Amino acid sequence: MTGGRLPGLGDSPLPASSRAWSGTLDAFDARSRAWDEYTSTPLGRLRQELTTHHLVQHLAAPAGSLVVLDVGGGTGSYAFPLAQLGHRVCLLDFSAQMLAIARQKARQLGPLLGERIDFCHASVDEIPGLFSPGHFDLVLCHTLLEYVLDPRETLDVLSTVLRPGGLLSLLFANPHADPLRWAIANEDRITGGPDGMPVPALTILGFAVRGERTWYWVAGAALLVAVWLALNLIESPRGRALRALHTSEVGAEVVGIDAARQKVMVFVVSAVFAAFAGGLTAFYSGFITPAKASFMHSVELVTMVVFGGMASTFGAVVGATVLTVLPQVLTVVQDYEMVVLGAVMMATMIFFPRGVVPTLGALLGRGRR
């Protein structure tokens, strides 16, 4: 691949087919401005920055050596960072309106960036007729599969233009999440609807658990059992397999570890832990509402893990403890509570990038040497 445009492409729009899509062209065009605004919000920028950061870590080739296809690239939130690294990018999208916004952004970022990006107005099922087999080193398929009629067929199409050994990056939402969320929030007979539902008292061996002190011992015992099980899992053969996958998935598969099976197993184990903790929470409060299944509540839980230290059992415990107690302690500063809490979080991310527990553990290890 030398300078100039990608073979067979220019900036002129191509006919768009809609066979592969579950929505209409007008619907995607109507959402283009809203999507562009979302990518400019703090949450949208965080999503883009995290995705790009992890993606770049997997790119073994030096900058400027990859030919990239960004399928359903929208307004270019993932294409532009790769082009700025020197890669050649083809941004393909079904929506002419989104491509128009992407072209405008490319012009604003300067002519050099524009030379590295081609814009293609086409649908997924047109890809085999536009590009030769094995044409791309990297194919991005972000926020796309939830909108196509047959995701497996779409992946088959993308694999034809990906070179052997190339990288396919997938990022998609669960298409069944919205109906499930709607059912949780509105099915009065099962979940109590938006107002929630009462939960009966927890009974253990005929004894009803009541009172703060009793719940303190129940929660403490549950925590100790959960930590003990997690530590034993880490040191078990399955735990060693998971650590091998964390270090190098390819290397782990070479020595006979079934990556897909191990990932499904640990996902199920995590779901069991979460379900048990959620059940205890409902029994403790005596009431449960759909807010417990909200996105922001999930963000809070992830923040606790990141704060304490990912891949650290005790880090998760420390993160949950600190971020539960700290807001209560900061009530003494009243109007500045959120400011101080944000400053503490920023300082932690700067000085403890791996989390509190792993970073302190590494510092203590160095001190002993």
Query: What is the CATH classification number for the domain harbouring 37?
Result: 3.40.50.150
Sign (positive or negative) of CA dihedral 82, 84, 87, 89: positive
Structural domain contains residue 15: no
Distance CA(94)–CA(24), nearest Å, equals: 10
Calculated CA dihedral for residues 42, 48, 54, 59, nearest 10 degrees? -150
Provide CB contacts within 8 A for 131, sequence distance 6+. Answer: 8, 69, 161
- How does DSSP classify residue 208? E
The CA-based angle 336-340-345, given to 5 degrees, is 150
Contact 91, 76 (CB under 8 A): yes
The backbone region for 64, taken as left when phi is positive above 0, alpha when psi lies in -120 to 50, beta otherwise, is left
Assign 182 to helix, strand or coil.
Answer: helix
Structural domain contains residue 181: no
Contact 9, 99 (CB under 8 A): no
Distance CA(191)–CA(183), nearest Å, equals: 8
Structural domain contains residue 346: yes
Looking at the fold, whether 272 and 361 belong to one and the same domain comes out as no
Residue whose pair of structure tokens reads 């997690």 in the numeric block? 230
How many structural domains does the chain have? 3
- Residue-by-residue pLDDT tens, the chain, 369 positions: 333 334 334 333 333 344 455 455 566 666 666 777 777 777 777 777 778 877 887 776 555 578 999 998 888 888 988 888 888 999 998 888 888 888 988 888 887 777 889 999 988 889 999 999 999 999 999 888 888 888 889 999 999 999 998 889 998 888 777 787 788 777 777 777 777 888 888 888 888 888 888 999 999 999 999 999 999 998 999 999 998 988 888 888 888 999 889 999 999 999 999 999 989 988 998 888 887 777 777 778 888 888 888 878 898 899 889 888 888 887 777 777 777 777 877 888 788 878 888 888 888 877 666
Domain that holds residue 251: 188-292
Assign 67 to helix, strand or coil.
Answer: strand
Structural domain contains residue 213: yes
